[in-house]
Amino acid sequence: IPMYFATLLHICQACSPARTAKVLPGHSPMSQLLVQRFLEQASRGDRTLNNLDIYEMISPEEEEAAEVLQQAGEAALSPSNGNSTMRKPVKGSKSTNKPQTPSRGLGKKASLYQQMRRKVDNKDSRGGNVAQQMVVSVEQKNQEQEWVYFAAAEVLTHATFRELNPEDPEEGAAQADADQPVKDALEDAFDKYPISKFLAALKQQVQLHNENRARLTDFFMQVSAKFIWHCWSNAMFRPHFDTVSNLEVLAELTPFFLRWPNEEVQHLASEAALFAGLHRFASVTNYLVDNYRQSPELACAMLTKALVDEEAVLRPRQATQFLQTSIELLRSRLLSRTGVHRLVIGIQIGFLLDHPEGFCAYMLQKEHELLGKLLEQMNAYSESGTVKMGIVVILTQTVGTFYKPLAELDEFALRVLDLSASLLEGEFVLFFPVLHQLALLGGKRIKAPLLARQLHMRVARLLEKSVFQLETGEVKREAWEVENEEPEETGPCLSSRQKLQWMLAFFA
């Protein structure tokens, strides 16, 4: 088996991808052998590496072609062939072969002392040599099995890798027709040796490793992570992998892969978790909540996907933990600028969808302190328009809808007033109704801090600006003589007259 797999692996590495795609693994018996050996070596059991059935996979036509090639090779090397490269010895020439000299030299013998000393050493070390040979043989066998495991995965990966051009549908259709034999061969192989057995064997090995009853190597973990990643990134493997039972086992294994001290294994496990949608499983999200510092970008992506995905079953307590982790990510500044935008947009959409159901009311009524901390950490990035929009949307979905003049919400209301100065200028359209709601329902407990922060003066300056824009706009409209209509603005917007109405209601 190792020699046969080495031949297949050499073909995959030496030939072009197009040529490899036409040969491997469209052969159904070969595919079954590759999948079978891969699943068997995943369990790291005592499996023999010899299999005479591989000689029966050749067809009669291929056997005849092999005989013709062998005869042609023998004819090319025969002495009667004039083009033979074999050299004959020339008559009278001296031979260049010299007799080997004895290793000890001429006439040298070991002394009696050396002979007796060697006998004693051999006698003392006889038991140790036997034990050492046994350890070496077991280690060598484990290495051979790991190499078979690697070779089977590499052949399956190389032979099913495709680069399609989505802009050319005809090329995609032709490629799909050419790949049909490969899909059929893989389907037959996975029907006989399902991937669930591979995951079960891998789970067993992880349990043995955690109990110190087995030792998994970097090589074994890299091959396993790469194969799982390929199964989810390749359309030929995904239908056989994407089942509820397989996802549950993979969700249990993902934390172990993410903890493994190898960057390549962690990277492949992270991408496989994103491809497989493991944000729906608590075992993965709970691990990321506890270990967000080790992989902050992955934690950001997975937790925001859980908030946005309405198919993910979440409880308000779980979503609260996600927001707590988001606060720590923003405070520690572990995320890149793109990661910060992804985090803010994900939280914003989660509040817009009110996922889980009743989450907006729950956050304002029971977790208002945590909500205030989240807004403060987001305000630290308020130079970004995306972050500022996220703050306003969260306030609109919580304060603008569920605020009540309760004593326990006073501290949270003061935090909102501290954010008002920057939000009035940048996000007037969405934020001013929230401020009006606070002033309307809060009574004296809100009006006094509002006046102390000089917010009424800021609103007065905005009122003056709106009046000026309204007067200027009316003059321009009278002098405007164009047949085309005025273009409509996209998104939420208020005219100068509507802004005036809001601000007059606020002062009233």
Indicate whether 333 pLDDT > 60.
yes
Is pLDDT larger for residue 296 or for residue 86?
A: 296
Indicate whether 434 pLDDT > 80.
yes
Is pLDDT larger for residue 425 or for residue 359?
A: 359
Give me the pLDDT at residue 283, please: 94
Minimum mean pLDDT range among 5-9, 133-137, 231-235, 242-246 = 133-137
Give me the pLDDT at residue 487, please: 47
CA atoms within 13 A on the CB side of 223: 22
Band (284; pLDDT cuts 50, 70, 90): very high
The residue behind tokens 């091959």 is 223
User: What's the CA gap between 360 and 339, in Å, rounded?
Assistant: 23
Q: Quick: pLDDT tens for 352-373.
A: 999 999 999 999 999 999 999 9
Average pLDDT over residues 186-213: 91
Give me the pLDDT at residue 478, please: 47
Measured CA to CA in angstroms, residue 453 lies from 161, 429, 447, 450, 456 at distances of: 63, 21, 10, 5, 8
Reduced to 3 DSSP states, what percent helix, strand and coil does the chain have, rounded to the nearest 5? 75, 0, 25
Indicate whether 322 pLDDT > 60.
yes
Give me the pLDDT at residue 492, please: 67
Give me the pLDDT at residue 396, please: 93
Average pLDDT over residues 119-132: 52
Q: Quick: pLDDT tens for 260-275.
A: 999 999 999 999 999 9
269, 258 Cβ separation under 8 angstroms = yes
Indicate whether 334 pLDDT > 70.
yes
Average pLDDT over residues 183-193: 89
Burial class of residue 414 in the structure, from the number of CB atoms within 10 Å of its CB (0-12 exposed, 13-18 middle, 19+ buried): middle
Give me the pLDDT at residue 480, please: 47
Q: Quick: pLDDT tens for 71-82.
A: 777 777 766 554
**Cβ neighbour number for residue 265 with a 10 Å cutoff:** 21
Type of residue found at 98: K
- Cα end-to-end distance, the chain, whole Å: 87
Nearest to 38 by CA among 135, 132, 210, 154: 154
The residue behind tokens 């052969």 is 27
Type of residue found at 231: C
Minimum mean pLDDT range among 19-33, 109-123, 133-147, 293-307 = 109-123
Average pLDDT over residues 288-295: 94
Average pLDDT over residues 141-149: 83
User: What's the CA gap between 192 and 38, in Å, rounded?
Assistant: 13
Give me the pLDDT at residue 58, please: 64
User: What's the CA gap between 161 and 182, in Å, rounded?
Assistant: 11
The residue behind tokens 């990134």 is 233
User: What's the CA gap between 138 and 385, in Å, rounded?
Assistant: 62
**Cβ neighbour number for residue 175 with a 10 Å cutoff:** 15
Type of residue found at 33: L
User: DSSP assignment, residue 97?
Assistant: -
Give me the pLDDT at residue 482, please: 46
Band (106; pLDDT cuts 50, 70, 90): very low
Number of H helices, E strands in the chain: 25, 0
Give me the pLDDT at residue 135, please: 46
Average pLDDT over residues 131-136: 48
Average pLDDT over residues 8-37: 80
445, 410 Cβ separation under 8 angstroms = yes
Indicate whether 438 pLDDT > 80.
yes
Give me the pLDDT at residue 46, please: 54
Measured CA to CA in angstroms, residue 504 lies from 323, 426, 433 at distances of: 37, 20, 12
Classify 123 as helix, strand or coil. Answer: helix
Residue 334's φ and ψ, nearest 5 degrees, are: -85, -15
277, 307 Cβ separation under 8 angstroms = no
30's tokens: 């070969």
Measured CA to CA in angstroms, residue 264 lies from 8, 156, 199, 222, 258 at distances of: 25, 20, 20, 7, 10
CA dihedral (10, 11, 12, 14) positive or negative: positive
Indicate whether 395 pLDDT > 80.
yes
Percent residues over pLDDT 90 in the chain: 38
Classify 99 as helix, strand or coil. Answer: coil
User: What's the CA gap between 495 and 271, in Å, rounded?
Assistant: 47
User: What's the CA gap between 388 and 405, in Å, rounded?
Assistant: 25
451, 484 Cβ separation under 8 angstroms = no
Average pLDDT over residues 382-388: 89
Band (279; pLDDT cuts 50, 70, 90): very high
Is pLDDT larger for residue 503 or for residue 228?
A: 228
Give me the pLDDT at residue 209, please: 92
User: What's the CA gap between 30 and 159, in Å, rounded?
Assistant: 12
Give me the pLDDT at residue 169, please: 64
Measured CA to CA in angstroms, residue 488 lies from 247, 457, 484, 494 at distances of: 48, 31, 12, 12
Give me the pLDDT at residue 47, please: 57
User: What's the CA gap between 196 and 115, in Å, rounded?
Assistant: 61
Dmax (CA) of the chain: 126
Indicate whether 100 pLDDT > 70.
no
Percent residues over pLDDT 70 in the chain: 76
Indicate whether 484 pLDDT > 60.
no
Indicate whether 16 pLDDT > 60.
yes
Give me the pLDDT at residue 112, please: 55
User: What's the CA gap between 332 and 9, in Å, rounded?
Assistant: 46
Rounded to 10 degrees, the C-alpha dihedral 102/107/110/111 comes to: -170
Q: Quick: pLDDT tens for 147-173.
A: 889 989 988 888 887 766 556 666 666
Q: Which residues, other chains included, contact 302 with Cβ-Cβ below 8 Å and sequence gap of 6+?
A: 273, 274, 278, 279, 284, 285, 288
Give me the pLDDT at residue 84, please: 45
Give me the pLDDT at residue 314, please: 92
CA dihedral (407, 412, 413, 415) positive or negative: positive
Average pLDDT over residues 115-126: 56
Indicate whether 222 pLDDT > 90.
yes
